[in-house]
Amino acid sequence: MGGFALAAALLVVATLVVLLRPWKRKPKASVATSDVNAGVYRDQLAEIDRDLAAGTLTPEDHAQARAELQRRLLDDVSAQETPAAATTSMRATAIVIALALPLAAAGMYAWRGSPQALDPLVVRAPEQKDVEKMVADLAARMEKNPDPRGFVVLARSYRAMGRLPDAEAAFNRIGPALQENATLLAEYADVLATRAMGNFDGKPMEVLNQALKLEPENPMAMSLAATAAYNRNDLATALKYWEQLLRIIPPDSDDARWLTEAIAKTREQMAGVGGSKAPAAATAAATAATNKPPLAAVAGAGVSGRVSLAPALASKVQPGDTVFIFARNPQGPRMPLAVQRTQVSALPFSFKLDDSLAMSPEAKISGASEVRIEARVSRSGNATPQSGDLIGASATVKPGASGVEVVIDQVRP
């Protein structure tokens, strides 16, 4: 606020200097004119005096001419008082301008500007409710005036917020532009697969293959294709995509380090060396390569929040049904980074997922750049997703997030 006020004050001062400069000039020409006129009158009086002495001018004419010169002299003296009055008037005008301009500028800014933006307490990052309102306003505009670009923004917003059914509906309304953009198709496939709790079979894979056909080296499409292959135990295909992806991303990025781990682990699995039989030296080397801190140092990297059941689905569950709560890497393998288990009778349930609940020492929440929390109700208690399970997912969050809300509000196809 101080910087803005100082800049505004300097601008006003500079403007006043430019405007008032002409008003400060003194009328020097009027002094020179009075001196000239006085000299002319003296010469004329001397001339009529010489004419009277020479007899060419009668006393009566001399007296009349002298009176006329005196009258003209008095008129000129009166006229010469006008510049002084004008100078006073100019000074008053300058004072009025100097006062009125800053007041007018301040009033105009208060009327048409944003004075509240100068308050540092007002300037803040948008809160969740602000984002939700903006998305709701955009959705209302799209209903009145459909526009492909607007539906792209709407679909991505819903996806980031974890509102997957709404995201899918928005993707479906983008139109032909969706079929021409590999990244959009990959995002659409991710929404479809996430809604199916990681199952890429059917439409998600069709959409993903379309994205790869348009752009074979699209990073997101390759990552999802590798995940789909890994989920169906096609390790060779997953390895191929990860190796291609590793060649096109920055080598010093977190994604590159994660891919290096995934590739090494997959090669071990293909060679029959992975799992619990992996040598301790290999595990230590992988940990050292990624510079991961010990578990005690990343205790704050967990994600906490609450899982609840939508009232509309309450009739479809029993108190003893099993509830699985897990964290996944949205861009990585579908293997959970952490899992917690409870029952429907405990809902709404406050969860906390951290590295102590990791299923593998190579895949932890602390090693992910972002995670998505998912929940699933299973009547059979089976950890494998089945048709008819009730599911829900959160928006994508960073490790360390708290207050994450997951609502189980969908039925798995």
Structural domain boundaries in the chain: 2-118, 128-289, 300-411
Mean pLDDT for the chain?
Answer: 77
The CATH T-level fold of domain 300-411 is Immunoglobulin-like (2.60.40)
Q: Which residues contact 289 (CB under 8 A, 6 or more apart)?
A: 257, 260, 261
Q: What percent of the chain has pLDDT over 90?
A: 20
Tokens representing 41 are 């009158």
Over residues 254-272, the mean pLDDT reads 82
Listed residue (169, 170, 166, 157) closest to 130, CA to CA: 157
State how beta strands 303-309 and 404-408 pair.
Answer: parallel
Of 87-101, 297-311, 332-346, 356-370, least confident by mean pLDDT is: 87-101
User: Residue type at 253?
Assistant: S
Calpha distance 223→227 (Å, rounded): 6
Q: Which residues contact 366 (CB under 8 A, 6 or more apart)?
A: 292, 293, 295, 298, 301, 354, 355, 399
pTM equals: 0.48
Calpha distance 358→345 (Å, rounded): 25
**Which of residues 319 and 17 earns the better pLDDT score?**
319
Calpha distance 327→243 (Å, rounded): 25
Q: Which residues contact 256 (CB under 8 A, 6 or more apart)?
A: 246, 249, 250
| pLDDT of 371 higher than 60 | yes
Calpha distance 161→28 (Å, rounded): 76
Do domains 128-289 and 300-411 share one topology? The answer is: no
Calpha distance 262→242 (Å, rounded): 8
Predicted confidence at residue 285, as pLDDT, reads 35
128-289 in CATH: which number? 1.25.40.10
Predicted confidence at residue 123, as pLDDT, reads 47
